[in-house]
Structure 1
Amino acid sequence: MTTSQPYWVFHFDLEPLDGFRDILLAELVEVGFDSFEETPAGLSAYVQPKELPENWWSELRIRQMEGVSLSYRKEELPDINWNAEWEKQFDPIEVGDRCRVRADFHPYKEVEYDLIISPKMSFGTGHHQTTYMMLEFLLEAELEGSSVLDMGCGTGVLAIMAEKRGAVQLQAVDIDAWSEENSRENTEKNGCENIEVHQGDGQILHRWPAQFNWVLANINRNILLQDIPLYVDTLQEGGALLLSGFYTEDLPLISEKCEAAGGRLEKKRVRDNWVAAKYVF
């Protein structure tokens, strides 16, 4: 996006910072904020006024966490050029020694999987713990010749990685129109030929009964708990769910939902209280 548009910026003061700044960021993504900057006091978060629901403050679960203090002040900005903002803040990230996620203006570095991602207003560059862990799972997954569904695709980075690792049929879905557009742009940047991108939510999944070997969903706890049965319906026998976007304390609820649908937890990863989990069916 090269055009400018009005934004609000909320400056959050958070105590303590360690372990809680990322929780705050993820919850702000859920209520409509789309870009962020770490500050000494906590976090500055940007949002278009039309995207922010009236009850956003009461929706933040972090406010109820024991020992956490959170406050904010709002600033109305003149029109902001988003491209310039994210280009200043997006640094390349390496997942192990095999994968590097970068923007197209970053210099090339030889690695096994070089992913070019222009995040713009979409979530998913590998910087957040959940995306990072999902990429780790994909690096070890058997994807050659497989079919993959990426729910809540954001930038499309997970679907792109899956195709790079050998998946041949991929569907990427996001409820946000901008994420759909951004995913299309990123699949083109990476030379992907097998990814179809759609705008929609869990209700779109009836199109693909028992079709996928893998379902990837890095969203949030509430959406996962609601839609896990829909994801399972799209799996072939022996398929797997890779799920993230929730905290360690949410894992029992997620596991209970998957087990009720016939799955079992095979492996989990944890980074800064965030979880990514693999369930096999």
Structure 2
Amino acid sequence: MSSYVRLINRGKIAEIEFFNPAGNSLPSAMLEDLTSRFEDLQQLSDVSVVILKSGGEKAFCGGASFDELIQISNLEEGKKFFSGFAKVINAMRKAPQIIIGRIHGKSVGGGIGLACACDYTLGTVHSSIKLSELAVGIGPFVVGPAIERKAGRAAFVELALQPAEWKSAQWAFQKGIFQYLAESISELDQKIDELAGQLVEYNPEALAELKKIFWQNTEDWDTLLLQRAEISGKLVLSDFTKAFIVKFKNKQ
């Protein structure tokens, strides 16, 4: 299968799904498409609940595309790439609908940022997470605010400073990254269907107002996340990072 990003409108419930055969990693083009699909939600006044999901049954999201990272040759290109994650998170933050995250498998780096930018996030017992950025020579600068908002600074510090360690789904559940853990993907889908079905029965104006409250004190993120993207864009040019990516790619 080839890569895709889809917005499917089912009336009161919409789905945004992405897929990349390379571990559901996200190159710039897919980040741009994700941003556009979340921005499209502003026009869907009949939709009150959105489900974010990825295709396949393995990883939910492998984070940044290493194929693209290794090609970045200057600060402008680096900032532009990492701004892609900033724009997706901000589009999710501004969407008037409640966003449910369907995290069926492992998440790395930017994938955790997407999970934390959802308003209510469900995973499975296999949905372990890892912030690998520091090992790559950069850092989880762009996704940091989203993770801190959901799990707190202490959890973010633990993730950021242990880039080689997978944290279990149970750990993520205890920290508030996940609000529910299913034993299987089928159970996960059943719970999401139940939750979405319940939510659409409520007053959509009340849901929209709650969404604003959930995201209070994040009004500076339009600027903050782009500033963070510039830090990552600079560090990705370092000899350390270039050598790490080449070594990683040679192992594949």
Larger radius of gyration: 1
Scaled by the length of structure 1, what TM-score is found?
A: 0.27
More strand by share: 1
Larger relative CO (CA 8 A, sep 6+): 1 or 2? 2
The structure that is helix-richer by fraction is 2
In the superposition, the TM-score normalised over structure 2's length comes to: 0.29
